[in-house]
Amino acid sequence: MTTPQTIYITGGAQGIGLGIAHTLLTGGYRVAITDIDEEALSEAAERLPRRENLLTLMADASNEAQVVHSLEKTVNHFGQLNGIVHNAGIADPFHGPVEQLSLETWQAYLNTNLTGAFLCAKHGAAYLRPHGGSIVLMASSRALQSEPDTEAYAASKGGIVALTHALAVSLGPEIRVNAISPGWIEVGDWQKPSRQQPVEHRAVDREQHPAGRVGTPYDIAALTRFLLSTEAGFITGQNFVADGGMTRKMIYAE
């Protein structure tokens, strides 16, 4: 019998990260999720299946010591590490006009969204290398296109796409590194109960997508699971856009 694969997911207590953890646990993986929200972490542990294969850890993905410590705890607990998903992010892209954007807010986006990815790769590589590991970094379709007042978010996600190909070239052939750029993913159902919101989409919200709907965490989880698997063994350094076709649609005013 082969040992189940162990995957470390940052920001796994809610939203897309929780959806990825759910999919991987259901598929027989062992999963460590980190988060900075203690309440969300304990509620995630209640919600997730196969809890004997789950480890929950309080760790800030932008804090080097906490990334080092949580990776160590994961390997000590499960005995190995096969994959890392850096999903943690300040997910609200809107920070207001650039003229009023404080350096502190700018750096907060960069620290969690981009530096977190660097820290995971820096400190996770030695654990992954012996197993032919895989790293998946969460970017965004906002790495490719923008609405106003989203400079810090867009820059952090554009940085992820560039970091992905740089890491793939440096860490290959033992470790593959890919990015996923989700479009609109509805995470209302995947928040901790105190943050959950009723999910309602207007017809126009659905119909503007060539795929005819808004995305779900399972859409991103399925792609993540594939990129982590050996089936994706010839794929590295890429950015996969999962946005229901929105970035492929040409939009001119009527």
| Distance between CA atoms of residues 14 and 156, nearest Å | 20
For 134, the token pair is 């895989």
62 lines the binding site for ligand NAD (CB under 6 A):
yes
Q: Which one among 14, 115, 150, 178 touches ligand NAD, defined by CB under 6 A?
A: 14
Element (H, E) at 9: strand 6-10
Q: Which one among 101, 122, 184, 213 touches ligand NAD, defined by CB under 6 A?
A: 184
23 lines the binding site for ligand NAD (CB under 6 A):
no
Q: Which one among 91, 155, 162, 232 touches ligand NAD, defined by CB under 6 A?
A: 91
Burial 201-211 (b: 16+ CB within 10 A, else e): eeeeeeebbee
Query: What distance lies between CA 3 and its chain's CA centroid?
Result: 24
11 lines the binding site for ligand NAD (CB under 6 A):
yes
Q: Which residue stretch of 47-55, 58-66, 127-135, 167-175 sits at the interface with ligand NAD (rule: CB under 6 A)?
A: 58-66
For 16, the token pair is 């897309």
Q: Which one among 6, 74, 82, 87 touches ligand NAD, defined by CB under 6 A?
A: 87
Residues 190-209, interacting with ligand NAD (CB under 6 A): 191
Point out the catalytic residue in the list 109, 127, 153, 252.
Answer: 153
The count of chain residues that interact with ligand NAD, using the rule CB under 6 A, is: 28
Q: What is the DSSP letter of 74?
A: H
| Distance between CA atoms of residues 10 and 87, nearest Å | 5
Q: Which one among 8, 23, 24, 35 touches ligand NAD, defined by CB under 6 A?
A: 35
Q: Which residues bind ligand NAD (CB under 6 A)?
A: 10-11, 13-17, 34-37, 40, 60-62, 87-89, 91, 112-113, 138, 140, 182, 184-185, 187, 191
